[in-house]
Amino acid sequence: MTARQTADVARPASGTPSRIDGLPLRPTDVLPDATIERIQAGSLRILERVGVEVRSADMIRRLDAAGARGDADEGRVRFPPEVVEEALARAPHSYVLAARDPACDLTLDGTRGFLTVDGNAAEILDLGTGVRRASTKEDLAQITRVADGLSQIGFVWQPVAARDTPLPVQPLHELHAQFTNTSKHIQLMTAVNAEQARGAVEIAAIVAGGEDELRARPILSAFQTSLSPLTYDGPALEAAVVYAEAGVPSGFVAMPISCATAPASRAAALVQSNAEILAGIASLELLVPGAPTFYGACGTVMDLRTGAATCGGPEDLLFQMAGAQLARRYGLPSSIGTNATGSKTADWQAGVENALSVMASWLGGADMLCGAGLLYGARVYSIAQLLLDAELFDLVRAMTDGVGDTDEDLALDVIEEVGPGGHYLAQAHTLRNMRSQWQSRFFGRDPWEDWEAAGRPGPSDRARARAVAILAEHHPAPLPDGVEEQILEVIAAYGR
Amino acid sequence: MGAEPAPRIRPVPLRMRLEPLSENAVERIHRAALEVLRRTGMHVRSERLVRALGEAGADVDADQLRVRFAPELVEEAIARAPSSYLLAGRDPACDITLDGTHSYLTLDGCASELVDLTTGERRPSTKADLEAATRMADAVPEVTIIWQPVAARDAPTRVQPLHETHAQLTNTSKHIQQMTAIDPDNARGVVEMARIVAGGEPELRERPIVSAFQCTLSPLTIDGDPLEAALVYAEAGIPCGWVSMPLSTATAPTTPAGSVVLTNAELLGAIAAVQLLAPGAPTFYGVCTSTMDLNSGSIACGWGPEENLFSLACGQLARRYHIPSELGVFGTGAKTQDWQAGAQHMLSGFTSYLAGGDMLCATGTIYAGRVFAFEQVLLDSELVDIIHALEDGMSVSDEDLAVDVIDDVGPGGHFLAHEHTLRNMRRNWLPRYFDRATWEEWEAAGRPSPRDRARERARRILDEHHPDPLPGDVEAELLRVIAAHEG
Amino acid sequence: MDEKIAALREALYALDDQAAVGITRELIDGGLEPQRVLQEGLAEAMLEIGRRWNAGDVFLPEVVAAAEIFKRCNEIVEPALIEAGGHTLGHRVVMATVKGDLHDLGKNMVGAMMKTAGFQVHDLGKDVPTERIVEAVREMEPTIVGLSSLLTTTVPEQRVVIQALEEAGLRGRVKIMVGGAPVTEDWAAEIGADGFAPNAPEAVKVALRLAGSERPEA
């Protein structure tokens, strides 16, 4: 038996998603002003002196025409500081990520942070067998449906790749799987060229009820990633432009790996990451002035022995917080990698890394916390892990409630009445207030003997059981009649 | 590898801080606590002490054994407590000055059971376990203050605290904080033993190699023996703090602020009481408030947001009083080092650090502080190491900013073999217990866990590490003291 | 009458101390058999509260609150019951925190939960000398004796109590349960106790087993 969960929202009627729990933010600046200014200056120098490689002569020419310094022969685009500054000035400071269900709209204005399921893993731990295998479209659909039922999840990325669908239209299949399984906001990361972006926009417009409707209420956003160090694929920038022209918010995310695709020192990795993100944002604002965009930082450190991404060490935490701090200074919404763990299972190490990472993103003030559910340095997805990560988010959210100090909270009269040596168990004040206490779904609270007798169950066991239950009970709001068919038609058309 | 030996203790610099209470809220809670002491007071279970407190200015009811304190009396008394002092180690390299610049991690206290290092099974603790645990902690730099991690349950009850003190004086040269001598007789025994090791009474007073603390009984009760013990320590110049550990919803109000008010009132009352009877005695403000499981009534230690908020809020209050503080719960309700333990330890440990206490309690236990595990101390040291790494922040010298290096490598290049990388890569954090093998290696090795690695290392430390020995006949004298107190 | 008894139960569910005491007094003064007030009014309500706790609808503090109201109502019923020659219901349980130990929170929780299972609880308090426990066993003839201690230094006293009961020739007449943070199943076995529980809800299960009855579940 379990105590009633205060994290349990009022049971939604089947078909409506839970309301979204945002994380109230009170950002702390992890780096002193002098430090961060040097980093910003370093990035500007890189952008002016080195620039970024853009793998498309056409795009280089366009950027050059729009005010950057493009050199199509060299394949480089450089950005003088004034250009960067002007571009940043054009980008909106805040906007809404809309959702099919308006109760799930998210306002990115720096006051609340929203958790998303994390990104594009190639493998998944099978919910039934626990075995690691390649991910499928059905997995994507299932995870999305679970996310739809969790109040801690604000919006969804593509947690796994739909590897059983044809590559050229894979992102469109992913959108299909997601639009049919959630009425929360969707952020697409896998459409990396103009064609795919156009397909995505078409699908989103169908779901939104028209192009104008999509522009007014963008139920889709997207992002492009740089190729560290200092490179953008031409098609990726073209995709960003397509999105921007349709009114779909389009962000830029850097995922450098220190010692491999970024320098070994923390400051330098940050300088480079910052430069890459600014290059993307500046490019977008030059071509589509005023386009809503965001600043995405997801850096980590290389394992010196194996060369793999480590994910979850203290450097990552600094990158998280510094990234959010930089975004704030630039007046941009931030998307910060969170919950990353290098662990291969939901064990002690994962608990440590998950917990500290959520704290770091919260302290840093991330508008978007990405994201829940990944293991093994972001390579393997686990639905049980999704629930565990959501639990930690919920714990930290409850911490933000702080300590109220009304008379009822201070309880002076109660303290006097109970007096020395008494107890508070049966006091009316206790009965009135005790349900505000945070309840965990997955932490074990049974006595040691019972736990041994039951074979030492752990949090993942409980999480897995709950995931199965959600999949059995939760149904997302269905799409209006005929919409799904239209989506499939679009996919077919792009597949030809 | 540097040429200098590793430091014996690694205090955590206090730079990052989190303060959830507004200044106004701090004042309200402070004044509320004063009101509790004025109106309700505390139950002090000793006629002699109640009388003495009455003579010292408190408002006492001798029949009820109730002591009430006027606000001015409390403020005045608190102001007498020193705001900074030395906690010495037998080895001066382990000296600690509590001055608000660093936080010092303590070993956890007085679990009644432990996880056997060989069998992995849970069993009651013995003096030998205490010796081993102390000896291991002596070798772990992140642990700076040695509580009694387990009870010496096979020692005669009457002098158990003295056996515990003996076990510790012989197994560590770090500072020892005695928590189990909760009556004046045992406190006197501890003082005698500490004096022998320190080399005499003035030597101990100048360099207190032992400190102590007493606990209030929530709500609002001070037992006579602990208060007498505190006075014994005060007389000997041994810092003696007070720790309040109410269970929210049961022995404190269920609202977080109410629990903080009660905790604060108990501590102010106990500290004021000692300051009235022994002005200027070095002391500290110790908090161990936790929540209660609403369903079963069990203690939920290091469980969730409430405990973390208690640490943070009490940190703010302690700073207001300019008394050294001992805060935090580095705790978990988990029964093994699983995901829950990792998450709860990290959250409670990190918020304890953010609370800014001078002393950060406390490492080594699971199951809400009831079970000690050798490997837990080492796993916790990993967390402290991470906090250290975070504290290091980001240096921004030209070498660090490496703009030329970025230019050199250029877009699409890589940094793997660059001199700058080879020069700097070792500054990146390396885990001791986190697993960074590939999935295949990990499967092939039978899915080893951080706990396994930590256990192995604990065994190695116990095999190899020898604490600084006591001079020749000192140990014999310690045993004589125990015998004298037994008889 | 049935309505009034139902109202008494409702008052307990609502944790309305005043109403419960008021109705109890009304019923007793009005001449209703005290046995009925106790059985159908108070005890039945406690059993139902226990069922609701089991289902997770009611929390421990609410159980304790109900137990305290029960106690106050029972103080009105008992004298009338004894006068009428009726017998108190349920197995008797004597509880104590052993000598030298001042912690009684756990014991109080256990006592409250026991009442929801229909036990009659006599709490001797804290820091209770062994002789007093022996005397209480002799006088009250309980089915179960519950011993609590929170300190490793007072836990050994539990063994002393059991030995004292043996010497007094009373050991065979009671079942002994032990509890408290340092207490484990192994310790209970070592000192020859009949049962051990790590928290209040578990204590009820063990007590029911020792008393040879099952909690009437919904």
Residue ranges per domain, chain C? 2-83, 92-210
d(CA A270, CA B35): 51
Q: Is the pLDDT confidence value at A318 over 70?
A: yes
Chain C touched by A3 (CB under 8 Å):
yes
Closest residue in B to C157 (Cα–Cα): B157
**pTM for this entry:** 0.90
pLDDT of B249 reads 94
Which value, to the nearest 10 degrees, does the dihedral of the CA atoms of residues A43, A48, A53, A55 take?
Answer: 120
Second-level CATH architecture of B12-16+78-391: Alpha-Beta Barrel (3.20)
Chain A CB contacts of C199 below 8 Å:
447
Chain A nearest C-alpha distance from B36 (Å): 7
Mean pLDDT score, A4-19: 38
**Cα C190 from Cα C179, distance rounded (Å):** 14
Q: Does B151 touch chain C (CB under 8 A)?
A: yes
Chain C environment of A1 (Cβ under 8 Å): 54-56
- Between chains, do C185 and A2 touch, taking CB under 8 Å as contact? no
How many whole angstroms separate alpha carbon B66 and alpha carbon B64?
A: 5
Whether C178 contacts C196, CB under 8 Å: yes
Cα torsion A457, A462, A467, A470 to 10°: value is: 140
φ, ψ dihedrals at A72, nearest 5°: -65, -35
* Facing A317 at nearest CB: one of B334, B390, B410: B390
Contacts of A449 in chain C (CB under 8 A): 185, 198
Determine contact: A15 vs chain B, CB below 8 A.
no
**Predicted pLDDT at C218:** 35
Strand segments, DSSP code E, in C36-172 are: 92-97, 120-123, 144-148
Cβ–Cβ gap B340/A429 under 8 Å? no
CB contact under 8 A, B297 and C60: yes
Average pLDDT over residues A463-467: 96
What is the least distance, in Å, from the CA of C189 to any CA of chain A?
14
CA distance B171 to B470: 9
Residue A373: other Cβ atoms inside 10 A? 31
- Of A487, A92, C175, C180, give the one whose Cα is nearest residue B298: C180
Helix B71-80 vs helix B256-277: crossing angle, to nearest 10: 70
Using an 8 Å CB-CB cutoff, list chain C residues near A430. Answer: 61
pLDDT attached to residue B190: 98
Q: Give every CB contact of residue B417 below 8 A, 6+ residues apart in sequence.
A: none
- Rounded to the nearest angstrom, the minimum Cα separation between B56 and chain C is 27
Average pLDDT of every residue of chain A: 92
CB burial readout B193-206, b (16+ within 10 A) else e: bbbbbbeeeeebee
Closest CA–CA distance from residue C62 to any residue of chain A (Å): 6
Does A59 lie at the interface with B, CB-CB under 8 angstroms?
Answer: no
Distance from CA of A447 to the nearest CA of C (A): 6
Asked if B218 and C150 count as a contact pair (C-beta separation under 8 A), the reply is: no
End-to-end CA distance of chain B: 53
How many whole angstroms separate alpha carbon A369 and alpha carbon A360?
10
CB contacts of C55 in chain A (<8 Å) are: 1
Q: Which helix (H) or strand (E) holds B205?
A: helix B201-206
Residue in this structure with the two tokens 């009556």, named with its chain if needed? B183
Q: What residues in B contact C152, CB-CB < 8 Å?
A: 110, 112, 151, 153, 160
Q: What is the pLDDT of residue A67?
A: 95
Gap between the Cα atoms of A148 and A145, Å rounded: 5
Give the minimum alpha-carbon distance from B392 to chain A in angstroms, rounded to a whole number. Answer: 10
Mean pLDDT (whole number) for A157-184: 95
pLDDT at C213: 64
Of A269, A266, A294, A268, the C-alpha closest to A280 is: A294
**Rounded CA gap, A283 and A94, in Å?**
19
Task: Determine the distance from the C-alpha atom of residue C101 to the mean position of all C-alpha atoms in its chain, rounded to a whole number.
Answer: 20
Structure tokens at A354: 């998950």
Residue showing tokens 């089915």: C143
Q: Which of A1, A431, A435 sits opposite C65 (nearest CB)?
A: A431
**Cβ–Cβ < 8 Å for B476, B169:** no
Do B146 and B176 touch, CB atoms closer than 8 A? Answer: yes
Q: What is the model's pLDDT at position B3?
A: 54
pLDDT at residue B4, as a whole number: 65
pLDDT (0 to 100) of residue C101: 87
Q: Name residues whose C-beta falls within 8 Å of residue B147's C-beta, 6 or more positions apart in sequence.
A: B106, B107, B108, B109, B110, B177, B179, B361, B362
What chain A residue is nearest to B451 in terms of C-alpha separation? A348
Instruction: Give the strands of the sheet with A52-55, arranged side by side.
Output: A69-71, A76-78, A52-55, A231-233
Chain B residues whose CB is inside 8 A of the C158 CB are none
- The phi, psi pair for B371, rounded to 5°, reads -125, 125
* ipTM for the complex shown: 0.89
Q: Quick check: A4 and C57 CB within 8 A?
A: yes
**Residues of chain B predicted below pLDDT 70:** 1-4
Contact assignment for B43 to A448 by CB distance below 8 Å: no
Contact assignment for B112 to C182 by CB distance below 8 Å: yes
Distances (CA, A) of A322 to A260, B389, B394: 20, 15, 10
Cis status of the peptide bond prior to B219, with omega within 30 of 0:
yes
Tokens matching residue A317? 């935490």
Rg (CA), chain C: 18
Q: Which of B300, B407, B409 lies nearest to residue A49, judging by beta carbons?
A: B407
Other CB atoms within 10 A of residue A483 CB? 16
Q: Chain C within 8 Å of B304 (Cβ-Cβ)?
A: no
Partner residue facing B296 (CB), from C181, C184, C201: C201
* Chain C residues touching B294 at Cβ < 8 A: 59-61
Are B151 and C198 an interchain contact pair (Cβ–Cβ within 8 Å)? no
What subunits touch chain B, counting only 3 or more CB pairs under 8 A?
A: A, C
User: Do the Cβ atoms of B420 and A264 come closer than 8 Å?
Assistant: yes
Q: Which residues of chain C have pLDDT under 50?
A: 217-218
A454 touches chain C (CB under 8 A): no
Which helix H or strand E contains A254, and what residues bound it? strand A250-254
Q: What angle do helix axes B305-321 and A383-399 make, rounded to 10 degrees?
A: 30
Would you state the pLDDT for residue B160?
A: 95
Facing residue for C199 by CB, picked from B123, B251, B296: B296
With contacts defined as CB-CB under 8 Å, which chain C residues touch A2? 56
Domains of chain B, residue spans:
12-16+78-391, 398-427
Q: Are A134 and A123 in contact (CB under 8 A)?
A: yes
Distance CA C70, CA A266 (A): 65
Q: Choose the closest CB to A430 out of C55, C61, C105.
A: C61
Do strands B221-223 and B145-146 pair parallel, antiparallel, or not at all (unpaired)? unpaired
**B294 closest CB neighbour out of C60, C103, C106:** C60
Mutation site for A-interface testing, chosen from B415, B416, B452 by largest number of A Cβ within 10 Å: B415
Burial (CB count <10 Å: 0-12, 13-18, 19+), residue B356:
buried
Q: pLDDT at position C214, please?
A: 53
Q: Convert A155-170 to b/e letters by CB count within 10 Å (16 or more is b).
A: bbbbbbbbbebeeebb
| Bridge partners of residue B123, in order along the sequence | B114
Contacts of B112 in chain C (CB under 8 A): 152, 155, 181-182
Written as six digits, the tokens of B246 are 């109410």
Shortest distance between the Cα of C84 and any Cα of chain A, in A, equals: 32
Distance of CA B244 to the CA centre of its chain: 13
* Closest CA relative to residue A337, chosen from A119, A150, A126, A179: A119
**Are B297 and C199 in contact (CB < 8 Å)?**
yes
Which class would CATH give C2-83?
A: mainly alpha
Strands (E), B205-264: 210-215, 221-223, 240-244, 247-248
Phi, psi of A446 (to 5 degrees): -75, 155
In angstroms, the CA B249 to CA A434 distance is 7
Handedness of CA A55, A58, A63, A65 (dihedral sign): positive
CA-based end-to-end distance of chain A: 55
CATH number of the domain at C92-210, out of 3.30.379.10, 3.40.50.280, 3.40.1350.10, 3.30.470.20?
Answer: 3.40.50.280
Do domains C2-83 and C92-210 share one topology? The answer is: no
Q: What is the pLDDT of residue A7?
A: 28
Q: Which of C56, C61, C112 has the CB atom closest to A2's CB atom? A: C56
Residue of B285, B388, B378, B370 whose CA lies nearest to B331: B370
Peptide bond into B448 cis (omega under 30): no
Q: What angle do CA A381, A384, A387 make, to 5 degrees?
A: 105
